[in-house]
Amino acid sequence: MRCGTLRPLPRIATLAKSLRVLKGRRAVPDAIAKSPGYAISQIVRKRIEEIFGWAKQIDGMAQVKLCGTAKVDWRFLMTLAAYNLTRLYKLPSPSTGQVFP
């Protein structure tokens, strides 16, 4: 099937030339903003942004002081592992259903 027959909607917000143009309007057209797929993408986007915000603020990934991509990759992997451990601590226990204090 060709894309022309599906009529896909663009998922990228257009930038206005000045902020005065955006006053009272959205950067995303109403047809896209009201679609269920856009609402889902905003929920997923917030979830992902929370992880990167945690990494920057708590773990110091805002300005990495390492040289080389291998070291930065390792640091990023360890940061995400630490974030997963903090999430794991907050999950309810499978046997009792209680969250740790």
Each residue's pLDDT tens digit, 52-88? 999 999 888 888 888 999 999 999 999 999 999 988 8
Number of domains in the chain: 1
Tell whether 2 is covered by a domain: no
pTM of the model as a whole: 0.60
Tell whether 17 is covered by a domain: no
Parent domain of 44: 25-90
Tell whether 15 is covered by a domain: no
Condensed to tens digits (0 to 9), the pLDDT of residues 40-59 reads 888 999 999 999 999 999 88
Condensed to tens digits (0 to 9), the pLDDT of residues 6-28 reads 666 666 655 555 555 555 566 77
Tell whether 12 is covered by a domain: no
| Burial of residue 93, with CB atoms counted within 10 A of its CB: 0-12 exposed, 13-18 middle, 19 or more buried | exposed
| Burial of residue 79, with CB atoms counted within 10 A of its CB: 0-12 exposed, 13-18 middle, 19 or more buried | buried
Tell whether 5 is covered by a domain: no
| Burial of residue 52, with CB atoms counted within 10 A of its CB: 0-12 exposed, 13-18 middle, 19 or more buried | middle
Structure confidence at residue 83 (pLDDT): 92
